[in-house]
Amino acid sequence: MHRRTLSRSWQARVGIWAVALAIVAAIAPAEAATPAADFADSGAARVRIEATDDGYHAWADNPLPGPIEVRLRYRQRHNTVASPALPARATVPAGGSTVVAAFRAADPSRAVDFDLILDSVPGNPSAQPRDVTYLLPLTKDTPVMIDQGFAGSFSHDDEENRYAIDFAVPVGTAVLAARDGVVMQVIDRYPDAGRSNANRRPDASSADTLLRNANLVRVLHEDGSMALYAHLQQDGTVVEAGERVRTGQHIGWSGNTGFSTAPHLHFAVQVNRGMRLVSLPFRMEGVGETAAD
């Protein structure tokens, strides 16, 4: 006779996603543990526990059409041994699954009890981005007005957004792909709800605040870098995850969602640098190299 309880909860950010899973078992059961859970379109990695002959395997399932890096760590544990020891990292391929760690009872006569957290970040940490010139993500007849450039003091003050450009454009302006790639992530469910800087939570990082409730498209490039097009209009994307896009292709409509004081398009080129997103300086047609405010 065995006792098993499983629970799963999660919260998501554009940069780092977290999933929690608790396991209590007196004896490792023969059948696989497959708890049900709902997942939004944030792209959070899914932690899955499967029973083995002598314990459990913790799998990371990647729902995105692009690679992610995951980190598995304990919230708490009792009578539990992990191999490899936690925290443990792994890179999960597009749409794939990877065993991150195996678990067994330190004392087989006692219950295994562990509570896990799986963090995930989009992108392959071994990506080697090339120096390319990006197309302006706006149509040729759209006036180019930059509200905030590289290292802007208002919200471009963290490593995810330091090298980003905010284009001041009206809601409903066509947004174009600045480079060929595969659509890795699409979020378009949030209504326009621009917020002033005074509403930023004092304990929140810039990246957490900037893209909270913001609609976006993330495009993966062949060198592993990713372009972020953010603050799009609700239901304002015209591409789907997994779709291949070409430079200059229409991918969505600008909006005023998330942390935004006025309608604009936020554009950045990012890479995963070991469980953290880092923005890269880039060159863009029609825009100065530094574009600083």
Q: Amino acid letter at 70? A: V
Q: Are residues 174 and 79 in the same domain?
A: no
- Find the CATH number of the domain harbouring 179: 2.70.70.10
Q: Which phi and psi angles does 209 have, rounded to 5°? A: -75, -45
- 192 versus 42: the higher-pLDDT residue is 192
Indicate the pLDDT class of residue 257, thresholds 50, 70 and 90. Answer: confident
Angstrom distance (rounded) from CA 161 to CA 285 = 20
Number of domain units in the chain: 2
The answer to whether 184 and 226 are in contact (CB under 8 A) is: yes
Indicate the pLDDT class of residue 14, thresholds 50, 70 and 90. Answer: very low
Q: How many helices (H) and strands (E) does the chain have?
A: 1, 21
* Residue 293, in any domain of the structure: no
pLDDT, tens digit (0-9, with 9 covering 90-100), for 166-177: 899 999 999 999
- Find the CATH number of the domain harbouring 53: 2.60.40
Structure pTM? Answer: 0.81
* Residue 159, in any domain of the structure: yes
- 90 versus 43: the higher-pLDDT residue is 90
Q: Are residues 72 and 118 in the same domain?
A: yes
Closest of 99, 116, 107, 119 to residue 23, by C-alpha: 116
Q: Domain range holding 83?
A: 4-122
Length of the chain: 293
